[in-house]
Structure 1
Amino acid sequence: MQLFDVIVVGGGHAGCEAAAAAARTGARVALVSFRADAIGAMSCNPAIGGLGKGHLVREVDALDGLIGRAADHAAIHYRMLNMSKGAAVQGPRIQADRKRYKAAIQQMLAEQDGLTVIEAEASALRFAEDDSRTVTGLVLGSGETLGAGAVVLATGTFLNAKMFCGESITPGGRIGEEAAQTLGDQLRALELPISRLKTGTPPRLDGRTIDWAALEIQPTDDADWTMSPLSTGRVAPQLFCAITRTNQRTHDIIRASLDRSPLYTGAIGARGPRYCPSLEDKVVRFGDRDGHQIFLEPEGLDDPLVYPNGVSTSLPREIQVDLLRSMKGLEKVEIVQPGYAVEYDHIDPRALESSLAVRGVNGLFCAGQINGTTGYEEAAAQGLVAGLNAARHVGGQGAVIFDRADSYLGVMIDDLVLQGITEPYRMLTARAEYRLRLRADNSATRLTGIGIAAGCVGAARRDWFATREAQRTRAIGSLQQVVSAQRMAESGAKVSADGSKRSLYEWLRFPDVGRADIDRVSDAFADVAADLADEIAEDAHYAPYLARQESEIRELRANDSVRLGEAINYRGIAGLSNEMKERLEAARPETLGAASRVRGITPAALSAILIEARRAASI
């Protein structure tokens, strides 16, 4: 029997990040995937990032994860979303060459010390002979056993999965790959809270059959930003995307075919993602609209495939051809692979601790779509947290818990473990109440130090971060220089020459004062990386607003310091409604602060919970 510290099941975005994060801490890690050549594959959209999602990519990168650097290696189109809005809600997003992305991930995993890739079916969890709730490894489809102190399940959409395309229903979680039936059955036998969810993917088009000249073109950004500051820049040639729209004829075709859609025949009963609905759902739910935008996104530099973002569908292939050919520029388009839907098992994330450990099953962690989320970015972020904490579990160290006031990672996990889900969870900037603090551009400042302390950051990033922090100290020190309004105005800044004096940092709070104005009166940013200088300027701009949030955050952290023991019987607390009791029992919040964030919990209920917690602690 081969022995490891941590075994990760699944080679998708969650599994790759989990395996790499655990290995970076020094753990011996096995990454088990049914197909080694599919590790790191982008199974749906050839894009990374976006609104909220781009923040997660930057945060995973700040903790030395893989996704940001792989995205830059593969990026064939860069676009910063929400550029007309404030930095806090801007979303970096790239289109990736699928082959380059997968190759980058596999290369980084191959270079990671302590990580072994095993191509095999993960058949079942292995448990201790004297304790059926303590995981001790994994049984492979061949019968071989792997031993480990922790297992991370990152099974994506494969647990008891079925694929739907029109009337056709086949087992599997992705075209050409089988479902994880045996493992799925075992998890149900453990009496874990398991439900079904649905996702979908569009057809893949032959780009050579698209009339690009008839379409609106969307070029790549002309800025020079990257997903990871450790990337050497934009290394791949840049391509354009294009936009078309559905129309009344498209909608008529879909309405006439709903009796052949598994979403409407009852074949699929699970909920899909609200923020990424199928084209059928769009037409039915928004019937008054005259059209919906469709983004035509290239899948690679040497690949003619095009991804029609917005055409997620499980209608029969011949109907997919008809509805696509009703759109401008697609009149002669050919489908290479039809779209389809997938229905799969997931665990109610309220069964998880904030470390992403499964409550009541010692040594078992879960990450990604098995936890009810959707998207590469959400999966990668959970994978990093689960892999890091699995390694710390084996090493006898405390879990690393991410705070929702300091990271989108913390927001997502807090939402999942406290609120649960009724549909696949997607990260949105609106979910973060402290989003002014959580900009994509300051992810390293917020999180890299935490990663270094946790032992999951490599030498290259540690050196980069040390240099960056030294630059920050020098720059902020120089920005304490006091300059008169007269001098600022004379230098060209749009301020009133009213005789006032302020530090340069305070001048940066003015909406019309920027880095260029500071550079004309000071060399504060002379030896500072451009992105760091921009970050410091944004910090100054938001400073008055952030100061007002500090009292809220202090209260949040004070409540989070009050631990709630597992033994608390919420059903026995007088004054709680039955609905409150059910939600608290399902979520089992770890702290009073977490209890306050469970939906529907009132201040009076919190007082009752606090009294019960103190009583239980005194017994």
Structure 2
Amino acid sequence: MQNKNYDVLVVGGGHAGVEAALASARLGKKTGLINLYKDRIAAMPCNPSIGGPAKGIVVREIDALGGEMAKAADATALQTKLLNSSRGPGVWALRVQSDKVKYAQYMLDKINNQENLDLIVGAASDIFVDDNNNITGLGLSDGTIISAKTIVLTTGTYLKSEILQGVERFKSGPNDEITTSGISSALKRFGIDLLRFKTGTPARIFKDSVDLSQATKEPGTDAQLAFSFSTKKFTPVADQELCYLIHTTDETKKIIEDNLIKSAMYSGTVDSVGPRYCPSFEDKIVRFPDKANHQIFIEPESNELDTWYIQGFSTSMPIDVQEQMLRSLPGFKNMRVKHWSYAIEYDCIDPMQLKPSLELKKVHGLFLAGQINGTSGYEEAAGQGLIAGINAVKYVNQEEPLILRRDEAYLGVLIDDLINKGVWEPYRLLTSRAEHRLLLRNDNAEERLKHYGYQIGLVKKQEWNEYQEAIVKMNQVINDLNEIRFTPKSDLAKVLSNHGVEINRGYSGMELIKMPIVDPNDLIAFVPSMKELRVNELQSVVINARFEGYVKKEKELVAKLAKLEKKQIPIDIDYSKVENLATEARQKLLKIRPLNIGQASRITGVNPADIQMLLFYLKANYANEQK
């Protein structure tokens, strides 16, 4: 491998690394993917699932941009479920229970068969730059030197990672894998500030040791749902695997209370910050002392494995206490453990040191994606990896990066939050983080982003043409719904009456669709063109009809805010010369160096008065440069 040259080097073969490497290679760049193992690609060391609130929409966005996660999730799903369907469409989200073995194999096959892509087994130990801090290459722990024009770091939880169980602490990556420290040292040498975060994973229990008669069955959703636009095959709900629901007991709570000092979290062993939205079980007991019982989901990991994943029961307790905790659960009296729960600490960076392209400000051509940026979750990692891979290619090509706006994508919200607000705990995407979530729905990812994927070159001509055909079909349905009318004596009126909906005058199909009490499926038999639409496409037609006024107002607001994004801020501006800026605002603006007024206004600590002073200064000193 000595002196081998690459356009793009990706470090880490997790969910971020896979997307970055595939994007780079598919865009024609000579790409190397460095991973600690040749057969551990896109692993699921924690929850064996893809999607969920906000996260599921990110997977749809990855697909619209030409990424791979959505296709892999569809192809290897054990169960498919639409969450929050009883609530508003802005929070609908798809989630699949994944076969973790088949998912990893799917991605490994994609890596091994991808043109322009080499899988390099090794541990990255150093990063090399020239005198101007431009990336030149990377070193492996065995002494190998690899040249590269740009590097994407997707190291996950493997940087100086340590496993915690009770008061025990030992160096290790997830599941007793290798950990590395060289990259942390290199980043410090470049002046990059590092953080220390923590996450954890629950025990894995042998399936034949659990009595499920005391659990509630949790089936999938009976609908033809998929993450990817390209998916044509759907598994009937009757053939999908079941998940199960139980609740912890009073005994479970007492065991925690009696042994709290033994937890790594509360014994002083932990130096780092864990995820607030996915806490250890003992943390739940401390934070919610009045809550007697907590939900626990029992989920399959793979048809090739004999284990259950115990969702919601992560802990850093010592093994003897873990055993007591597990046996206190309904149906777990005779349980047998294959893998015990643990917490893991690892290095990550302060993401405010990144550009919106995910390139480090201090090192030219060094991009970061995934948990190294302080995030959590497979989906957030994959989305960042895809954006970083695309922008690494654009860096090599000397093109403008792809930067998604907050009103365009949850990926835009994610990256904007990271670089402008920073992180103080592992960041998790939530629908509440998106102020324009009515525009960022599960059903309209293609409408928002597919043109980017096509322009970049990751969405191929055939898929683009199929999408154009889908648009024609949707427009035909809208036209037909506006044209057709139904009277109180029509056959449809009788169907609606049977479902408790009475119509006392003539209505167009569109007027009926706009009524929340009308099930759109009741119209399919009377509007033939509706039969041609997929579930997502029909949802999009219905949502756009029912929320037409709200969507219009939201888009008008976005158009007003877009004017702020056009007011650019020179990268070399001297903030010390901007009068009447608050001290905190001046410090944050110097650190982040926002590209425009819109970005500046979203920085924590920068207030409207500071923005006004900045606008005055720009008008007085950079009038000719303002757009």
- Normalised to the residue count of structure 1, the TM-score between the two structures is 0.95
2:274 to 272, 275, 281: 272
Q: CA deviation at 1:31?
A: 0.7
1:534 matches 2:539: yes
Query: How is 1:40-119 mapped onto 2 (pairs within 5 angstroms)?
Result: 40-119=42-121
Q: Aligned equivalents of 1:603 and 1:284: distance in 2?
A: 38
1:392 to 375, 394, 399: 394
**506 and 438 in structure 1: CA distance in 2 versus 1, 3 angstrom threshold:** farther
1:214 matches 2:218: no
Q: CA deviation at 1:479?
A: 4.1
Q: CA deviation at 1:480?
A: 4.3
Q: Aligned equivalents of 1:247 and 1:374: distance in 2?
A: 29
SS of equivalent residue, structure 2 residue 530 = coil
SS of equivalent residue, structure 1 residue 164 = strand
Q: Aligned equivalents of 2:73 and 2:220: distance in 1?
A: 15
Q: Where does residue 595 of structure 2 map in the other structure?
A: 590
Q: CA deviation at 1:225?
A: 1.1
Q: CA deviation at 1:505?
A: 4.0
More deviation, 534-543/40-49: 534-543
SS of equivalent residue, structure 1 residue 539 = helix
SS of equivalent residue, structure 1 residue 118 = strand
**487 and 557 in structure 1: CA distance in 2 versus 1, 3 angstrom threshold:** farther
Q: Where does residue 432 of structure 1 map in the other structure?
A: 434
CA contact (8 A) 1:489 1:496 kept: no
2:322 to 320, 323, 327: 320
SS of equivalent residue, structure 1 residue 531 = helix
* CA deviation profile, 1:313-368 (whole Å, cap 9, x unmatched): 11111110111101111111111111111111111111111111111210010000
Q: CA deviation at 1:458?
A: 3.0
1:564 to 557, 563, 569: 569
1:343 to 342, 345, 352: 345
Query: What amino acid is the match of 1:159?
Result: L
SS of equivalent residue, structure 2 residue 266 = helix
Query: How is 1:191-210 mapped onto 2 (pairs within 5 angstroms)?
Result: 191-210=191-210
Query: What amino acid is the match of 2:355?
Result: E
1:189 matches 2:189: yes
**275 and 341 in structure 1: CA distance in 2 versus 1, 3 angstrom threshold:** same
CA contact (8 A) 2:24 2:393 kept: yes
**485 and 593 in structure 1: CA distance in 2 versus 1, 3 angstrom threshold:** farther
Query: What amino acid is the match of 1:124?
Result: D
Q: Where does residue 573 of structure 1 map in the other structure?
A: 578
**516 and 211 in structure 1: CA distance in 2 versus 1, 3 angstrom threshold:** closer
1:546 matches 2:551: yes
SS of equivalent residue, structure 2 residue 391 = helix
Q: Aligned equivalents of 2:514 and 2:544: distance in 1?
A: 9
| CA RMSD, Structure 1 to Structure 2 (Å) | 2.1
CA contact (8 A) 1:73 1:235 kept: no
CA contact (8 A) 1:26 1:114 kept: yes
* CA deviation profile, 1:275-314 (whole Å, cap 9, x unmatched): 0000110111111111111111111113111111111111
More deviation, 547-556/469-478: 469-478
Query: What amino acid is the match of 1:212?
Result: L
Q: CA deviation at 1:268?
A: 1.0
**220 and 262 in structure 1: CA distance in 2 versus 1, 3 angstrom threshold:** same
Q: CA deviation at 1:497?
A: 4.1
1:448 matches 2:450: yes
Q: CA deviation at 1:566?
A: 2.1
Specify every segment of 5 or more residues in structure 2 that has no aligned partner in the other structure, as ranges. none
Q: CA deviation at 1:597?
A: 1.4
Q: Aligned equivalents of 1:348 and 1:179: distance in 2?
A: 20
1:604 to 602, 609, 614: 609
**209 and 521 in structure 1: CA distance in 2 versus 1, 3 angstrom threshold:** closer
More deviation, 471-480/194-203: 471-480
1:176 matches 2:176: yes
Q: Aligned equivalents of 1:114 and 1:121: distance in 2?
A: 21
Q: Where does residue 146 of structure 2 map in the other structure?
A: 146
Q: Aligned equivalents of 2:563 and 2:363: distance in 1?
A: 30
SS of equivalent residue, structure 1 residue 384 = helix
Q: Aligned equivalents of 1:426 and 1:216: distance in 2?
A: 28
2:260 to 258, 272, 284: 258
CA contact (8 A) 1:64 1:461 kept: no
Q: CA deviation at 1:572?
A: 4.0
**347 and 613 in structure 1: CA distance in 2 versus 1, 3 angstrom threshold:** farther
SS of equivalent residue, structure 1 residue 345 = strand
Q: CA deviation at 1:110?
A: 2.4
Q: CA deviation at 1:427?
A: 0.7
Q: Aligned equivalents of 1:290 and 1:27: distance in 2?
A: 56
More deviation, 598-607/478-487: 478-487
More deviation, 249-258/91-100: 249-258
Query: What amino acid is the match of 1:210?
Result: V
Q: CA deviation at 1:42?
A: 0.8
Identity level (%): 35
Query: What amino acid is the match of 1:592?
Result: I
Q: CA deviation at 1:484?
A: 7.0
Q: Where does residue 233 of structure 2 map in the other structure?
A: 233
* CA deviation profile, 1:471-521 (whole Å, cap 9, x unmatched): 23433444442647768896455475456x76x445532323453454455
- Normalised to the residue count of structure 2, the TM-score between the two structures is 0.93
**485 and 558 in structure 1: CA distance in 2 versus 1, 3 angstrom threshold:** farther
